[in-house]
């Protein structure tokens, strides 16, 4: 039996209760809305891009603890990164959540490895990756995305 503590790690719960960069950004240069029709989770990700780098990122919306904490920690992880770097980070994060982490995942993902427990809960992978899909859509200039 998988332990609930592996999924609901302290850091995840803390971020879900007090999400960082949880605000609208009217001055954002890009934004996208992500929606998981299965559970109704809905987030908007706001980006301010300068040159090729993510100068500012914030999010708003509602969802479960996993999706909200993931969005919060994502904003911290990608701030200051280039679109390409953020894309690689998402790829690495996705592999972590689906139980196929890169060998150097710890170094690549840092604190985000706290989501490794998600791989034991296949139904929750979409929760953990919703904000990332939304970020990806915003970077690609799409207005909305869904996890279906």
Q: Which residues bind other proteins (CB under 8 A)?
A: 1-2, 4, 7-8, 13, 17, 38-42, 62-66, 68, 121, 123-124, 127
Q: Are 17 and 45 in contact (CB under 8 A)?
A: no
Q: How far is the CB of 127 from other proteins (least distance, A)?
A: 7
Burial classification of residue 75, based on how many CB atoms lie within 10 Å of its CB (0-12 exposed, 13-18 middle, 19 or more buried): buried
Q: Are strands 144-146 and 53-62 parallel, antiparallel or unpaired?
A: unpaired
In this complex, which beta carbon is closest to other proteins, that of residue 96 or of residue 130?
Answer: 130
**Nearer of residues 42 and 133 to other proteins, judged by Cβ:** 42
Nearer to other proteins, 18 or 84 (CB): 18
Quick one: 22 or 56, whose CB is closer to other proteins?
Answer: 22
**Partners of 48 in the beta sheet?**
56
Min dist. Cβ of residue 8 to other proteins (A): 5
Strand ranges (DSSP E) for 37-143?
A: 41-50, 53-62
Nearer to other proteins, 68 or 133 (CB): 68
Cβ at position 45, least distance to other proteins in Å? 18
Q: How far is the CB of 95 from other proteins (least distance, A)?
A: 21
Phi-psi domain of 110 (left: phi exceeds 0; alpha: psi -120 through 50; beta: other): left
Shortest spacing between CB 75 and other proteins, in angstroms: 19
DSSP H/E element including 11? helix 10-17
CA–CA separation, 79 and 93 (whole Å): 16
């Amino acid at each position: 039996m998988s332990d609930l503590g592996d999924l609901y790690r302290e850091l995840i719960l803390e971020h879900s209760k007090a999400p960082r960069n949880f605000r609208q950004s009217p001055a954002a240069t890009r934004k996208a809305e992500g929606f998981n029709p299965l559970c109704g989770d809905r987030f908007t990700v706001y980006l301010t891009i300068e040159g090729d780098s993510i100068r500012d990122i914030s999010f708003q919306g509602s969802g479960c603890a996993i999706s909200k904490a993931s969005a919060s920690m994502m904003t911290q992880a990608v701030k200051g990164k280039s679109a390409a770097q953020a894309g690689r980070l998402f790829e690495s994060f996705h592999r972590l959540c689906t139980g196929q982490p890169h060998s150097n995942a710890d170094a690549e993902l840092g604190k985000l490895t706290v989501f490794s427990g998600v791989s034991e809960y296949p139904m929750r992978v979409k929760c953990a990756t919703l904000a990332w899909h939304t970020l990806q859509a915003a970077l690609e200039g799409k207005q909305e995305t869904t996890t279906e």
